[in-house]
């Protein structure tokens, strides 16, 4: 059993980083580097590159590898880099994970295969193949709302038992009973990250280790403060911060992510561009909801941006 209290090796607060596109619709590596440095300055212990928030289904392998390489080079030892390498084709996921390892990343994030609706034994084979093909730590990403398949706690724990480099889970099932089973029975050293900003504090209360965040693009400083307050025993302060951010959490998910967070980053002075097709534009109703919530972050974001540019 894994007792809570020590931060995971890859970091407790990780940002699932957006992928910026230039006016021609190509990946903007220079802006990606600027965003990466900014997020680390704002309190992230690490960055997930080319995950869902990074629009991984719309990126080519070569674009992903370029992002892994450039972000790794840009932030050096100051933070960890987790490469999004999972997909719904096992051989392809294995190959991309090997390419990511060559870029010097710290770990890989592999999502439960989507659309295929894999069985639990199929998941064991898929993730087992990835784990055996690399020395990298693997974070399993369970998000049934997007994939159409839920990895059961028993399957996850069996994977971790079989493969020493299945290092943790990004849990986005939204099911606190499922969280509890994983946290109760996980092996020593197996890390648990909430995959939902609004469930970060509840997951910490259950013994979770951290968060892989979307909202940290905007409020990374506050999320880091909430984590630190909770770890220091100041639950009242952590709760106060959570409640102050709850409207922002909701506004960032009024339509398919990462549409709102990219729109917010553009409003805060970054050059992220729009989301790639098949994602659409930010709805006007969502803009009206999110715009006033950005006001408190605008001035400090510009000041920090000037420092990292």
- Cβ-based neighbours of 277, under 8 Å, separated by 6 or more: 58
7 belongs to a structural domain: no
Residue 205 in any domain: the answer is yes
31, part of any domain: yes
Query: What is the domain count for the chain?
Result: 1
pTM of this prediction exceeds 0.85? yes
How far is 49 from 81, CA to CA, in rounded Å? 7
Burial class (CB in 10 A: 0-12, 13-18, 19+), 266: middle
pLDDT at 304: 81
Please say whether the beta carbons of 215 and 194 come within 8 A: no
Residue 293 lies in a domain: yes
Within-domain flag for 4? no
| C-beta of residue 117 within 8 angstroms of C-beta of residue 125 | no
pLDDT at 202: 97
Can you list the residues of the chain whose pLDDT is less than 50? 1-5
Tens-place pLDDT, residues 259-281: 999 999 999 999 999 999 999 99
Q: Encoding tokens for residue 129?
A: 């193949």
Q: Does 57 reside within a domain?
A: yes
Given the residues 38, 64, 170, 230, the one annotated as active site: 170
Q: What is the pLDDT of residue 4?
A: 45
Euclidean distance between CA atoms 175 and 172, whole angstroms = 8
Helix (H, G, I), strand (E, B) or coil at 151: coil
pLDDT at position 199 is 98
Domain assignment present for 72: yes
> Which range of residues forms the domain containing residue 254?
13-308
SS (HEC) of 258-308: CHHHHHHHHHCCCCCCCCCCCCCCCCHHHHHHHHHHHHHHHHHHHHHHHHH
Give the model's pLDDT for residue 309.
67
From the list 9, 64, 114, 141, the catalytic residue is 141
Q: Is 141 a catalytic residue?
A: yes
Q: pLDDT tens across 184-194, in order?
A: 999 999 999 99
Q: Is 190 helix (H, G, I), strand (E, B) or coil?
A: coil
Distance from C-alpha of 124 to C-alpha of 73, rounded to nearest angstrom:
33
170 has catalytic annotation: yes
Q: List phi, psi (to 5°) of 182.
A: -65, -45
**Is position 1 within any domain?**
no
CATH code assigned at 102: 3.20.20.70
Q: Give me the helices (H) in 187-258, please.
A: 200-205, 216-231, 235-251
Placement of tokens 């390892």 in the chain: 101
């Amino acid at each position: 059993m894994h007792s809570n209290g020590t931060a995971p090796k890859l970091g407790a607060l990780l940002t699932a980083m957006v992928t910026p596109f230039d006016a021609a619709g190509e990946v903007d590596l220079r802006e990606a580097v600027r965003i990466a440095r900014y997020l680390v300055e704002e309190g992230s212990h690490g960055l997930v590159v080319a995950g869902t928030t990074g629009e991984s289904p719309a990126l080519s392998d070569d674009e992903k590898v370029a992002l892994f390489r450039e972000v790794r080079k840009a932030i050096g030892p100051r933070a960890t880099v987790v490469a999004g390498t999972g997909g719904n084709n096992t051989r392809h996921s294995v190959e991309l994970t090997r390419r990511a390892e060559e870029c010097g990343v710290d770990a890989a994030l592999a999502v439960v295969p989507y659309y295929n609706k894999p069985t639990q034994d199929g998941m064991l084979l898929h993730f087992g193949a990835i784990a055996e093909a690399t020395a990298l730590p693997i974070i399993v990403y369970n998000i049934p709302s997007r994939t159409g398949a839920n990895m059961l706690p028993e399957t996850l724990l069996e994977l971790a038992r079989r493969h020493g480099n299945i290092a943790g889970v990004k849990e986005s099932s939204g099911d606190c009973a499922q969280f509890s089973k994983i946290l109760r029975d996980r092996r020593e050293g197996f890390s648990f990250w909430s995959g939902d900003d609004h469930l970060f504090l509840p997951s910490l209360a259950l013994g979770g280790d951290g968060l892989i965040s979307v909202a940290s693009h905007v409020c990374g400083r506050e999320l880091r403060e909430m984590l630190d307050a909770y770890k220091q025993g100041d639950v009242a302060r952590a709760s106060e911060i959570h409640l102050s951010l709850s409207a922002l959490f909701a506004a960032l998910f009024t339509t398919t992510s990462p549409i709102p967070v990219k729109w917010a980053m553009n409003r805060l002075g970054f050059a992220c561009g729009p989301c790639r097709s098949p994602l659409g534009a930010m709805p006007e109703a969502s803009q009206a909801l999110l715009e006033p919530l950005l006001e408190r972050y605008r001035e400090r974001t510009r000041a920090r941006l000037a420092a990292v540019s």
